[in-house]
Amino acid sequence: MLLGSLIAAHLLPRASAQNAAAPQKRTTLDKRPEFVPGELLVRFRDGTSLARNKSRVSVNVSNGGRSVRVEVNHFGGSELVQGLMLARMAPDDMPAALKALRARSDVVYAEPNYIRYADAVPNDPRYVNLYGLKDPNQSAGGISAESAWNTTTGNQNVVVGVIDSGIDITHADLKDNIFVNTAEVPGNNVDDDNNGFIDDVNGWDFANNDRTVFDSVADDLHGTHVAGTIGAVPNNGIGVAGINWVSQIVPVRVLGKCGGYDSDINDAMVWAAGGSVSGIPANANPARVINLSLGGSGSCDAATQNAVNAALALGTVVVVSAGNSNANAANYSPSSCSGVITVAANTIAGLRARYSNYGTSVEITAPGGNAVSGQLDILSTLNSGITAPTGTGYNYVQYAGTSMAAPHVTGVVSLSVCPRWSNTRVGSHR
């Protein structure tokens, strides 16, 4: 199943308008305008008693012998068009009231009080290359992100854990959405927040058991690319835009040049979700969603399943890549674990990518790139430094794989989940 067909189910509800009942829910493909139930805009003819009315009055209108009670009154700005009123009635009476008002000789027009939304499309110069975020009528393999952004662009109190190689936290298109523990002063070699660890500012490196979350360009480009799809900063005049515009990304490093160990990955899952891991500073900003664009052969083992279960029990959604072996995902881990969202890759045409794992362990597909020379892959954040990231060395490169598909799903889920409001965080977004 394509992610574009499910994105509407992952949206936060819109706030009600003018204290009225919430508007009817719109699906991604439903482009009909929405309106405030029980409200009409009515213009009465100049000179009529209702057009001259300056106070709220109730009138009865008749529709097929049925009497409908309607309350009409002026509203802000209505003096610009004399006789324009806001009419309110019971939502169930709205169709009858609309028909009856339109039939009256003293009414110029009557229409629903429609609800409009901002058309949120980022202005980043390379956004045009992000086929995976487009609506299906523009790209068959797209996820309809633009439709989602008309509802929500994220919540800065929602935390997303990226369990991967390191993340270039200095990247110009990422740094503003990287979590910062503001209780620590970076680089002062002091345990400012008194948690027993010095300068734990952005996340944790489980591979080396230290606070660094980016060791080298040679090792950590994968995590940087994944993070950009989830949360690259939009509308900043550079590069690309992520799916979630404002949520905080916590780098959790578990992979190096030679891969990573289950022992580190499992601890990282528990820690990212807010669980306690011996010898590691408590995670003051538990993730509501974690992304694991990693895996290996062999079905889900007991230790990994236990780590997934712990994360789920803490209220965290776990999104994992299906794998790139063109094989049954049931024979790979963590894609075969219970309770995770396993993501296969589709092409720009919306078809399964030739490399993507498949099978009943897969819940959904998302854009992962074609991996064919000369065809579009997934463009995201990277750094061109030789051994370490440089402030001017950030760049953007196309990768392909289910590793690129999973963060599309993670981004969508992070738009829909609520923050853990009860948590008291040491740090905050900045």
SS3 264: helix
Task: Count CA within 13 A, CB hemisphere, residue 236.
Answer: 18
Active site residue 199: no
CA angle 322, 213, 242 (to 5 degrees): 55
Q: Are the C-beta atoms of 406 and 369 separated by less than 8 Å?
A: no
Q: Which two tokens stand for residue 250?
A: 């916590």
Which strand ranges, in their side-by-side order, compose the sheet holding 66-73?
57-63, 66-73, 84-88, 34-44, 107-115
Active site residue 220: no
Cα–Cα distance measured from residue 169 to residue 278, given in angstroms and rounded to the nearest whole number? 26
Cα–Cα distance measured from residue 75 to residue 54, given in angstroms and rounded to the nearest whole number? 10
Cα–Cα distance measured from residue 211 to residue 24, given in angstroms and rounded to the nearest whole number? 47
Cα–Cα distance measured from residue 373 to residue 404, given in angstroms and rounded to the nearest whole number? 17
Selecting among 333, 403, 414, 416, the annotated active-site residue is 403
Selecting among 124, 164, 168, 215, the annotated active-site residue is 164
Cα–Cα distance measured from residue 142 to residue 414, given in angstroms and rounded to the nearest whole number? 18
Active site residue 193: no
Amino acid identity, residue 70? V
Q: Is the dihedral of CA 254, 275, 320, 242 positive or negative?
A: negative
Please give the full DSSP string across 310-327, using - where no structure is assigned: HHHHTT-EEEEE--SSSS
Residue 377 β-bridge partners: none
Q: Give CA 323 to chain center in angstroms.
A: 23
Q: What are phi and psi of 79, to 5 degrees?
A: -65, -20
Selecting among 10, 171, 222, 408, the annotated active-site residue is 222
Q: Which two tokens stand for residue 69?
A: 């009670």
Which residue numbers are catalytic? 164, 222, 403
